[in-house]
Amino acid sequence: MAKASLQESIRKVISTSKEDGNKKQVSILLPEKTISMLDIIMEQLKIVTEGKLSTSRNQFIENAIDELIDAASDVLFEDHGINVEELLDYEGEDDIEEESKAEAITDELVVLFPAKNSNFQKIFLGQNQWWSVRIGAKNRPRIKYAACYVGSPISGITHYAEVDKIVPTSNGDGKYIIHFKGKPIALQNKIKLGNSPINSVRKLRYTTRSKLLNAQQVSDLW
């Protein structure tokens, strides 16, 4: 984890607190010195904020764990093609928000998935389909095209495909298979990650065909 990222996270903690009612309790054993240092840090943070610090010690630790998870997830996805969020199989607030954003798109809708290079080659390019994925009910009938952000060594978007049909998987797991109309189409230029954070392509995202055809980097898609 980058030191600068942690420092920025700490600065955010000073002025904000993270509230989440959907939590489970876990026990973490820490060395006595670590606990003492945490107590001192919290006391000093209260001093520098003139007693206005709204973050508890536990919230401070939670924030650090979130940073660790993000950093580790980025490395696993970009270097090894392992998508932790996909393995988690959990629809959170970010997924619901993305589905809502897609509802407001009036152009030809493109759904973008994260992909491991081997799966992309075998399934997306080799079988002219993509599976098994979760897609909101309201947006399924509107999806015209599908694309993938592929991890290392490609690290970008190289193809897209016109969608023929989207059907449920046979095992009743709530996921879907996207069948293409013919072979995927190669983009004129690869869309690189650029300045976008890797976590912006670790989950399902929506964009438009016009943006996809004209984008130079991922941030141009949103």
Residue-level pLDDT at 5 = 63
In a domain, 52, yes or no: yes
Whether residues 200 and 139 share a domain: the answer is yes
The pair phi, psi for residue 163, each rounded to 5°, is -85, 130
In a domain, 110, yes or no: yes
Compute mean pLDDT per 10 residues along the chain, 222 residues long, and list them.
60 56 69 87 86 75 73 72 60 66 88 91 96 87 95 91 94 88 96 84 90 95 91
Whether residues 108 and 217 share a domain: the answer is yes
Going from the C-alpha of 15 to that of each of 40, 51, 130, the distances in angstroms are 18, 11, 43
Q: How many CA atoms lie within 13 A of 26 on its CB side?
A: 8
Bin 202: left if φ > 0, else alpha if -120 < ψ < 50, else beta: alpha
Residue-level pLDDT at 93 = 47
β-strands 129-133, 205-208: how paired? Answer: unpaired
Residue-level pLDDT at 87 = 59
Bin 50: left if φ > 0, else alpha if -120 < ψ < 50, else beta: left
Tokens standing for 27? 């026990």
Tokens standing for 197? 């954070």
Bin 147: left if φ > 0, else alpha if -120 < ψ < 50, else beta: beta
In a domain, 23, yes or no: no
CA–CA separation, 183 and 118 (whole Å): 17
CB neighbours of residue 88 within 10 Å: 10
Whether residues 174 and 77 share a domain: the answer is no
In a domain, 21, yes or no: no
Q: Which amino acid is at 14?
A: I
Whether residues 112 and 39 share a domain: the answer is no
Assess contact for 16 and 55: CB atoms under 8 A: yes
Whether residues 137 and 211 share a domain: the answer is yes
In a domain, 62, yes or no: yes
DSSP state of 123: I
Residue-level pLDDT at 92 = 46
β-strands 156-168, 176-180: how paired? Answer: antiparallel
Q: What is the CATH number of the domain that holds 171?
A: 3.10.590
In a domain, 142, yes or no: yes
Number of domains the chain contains = 2
DSSP, collapsed to helix, strand or coil, labels residue 46 as helix
Residue-level pLDDT at 1 = 46
CA–CA separation, 196 and 198 (whole Å): 6
Tokens standing for 221? 């898609």
Q: Which domain holds residue 39?
A: 3-12+29-85
Whether residues 71 and 134 share a domain: the answer is no
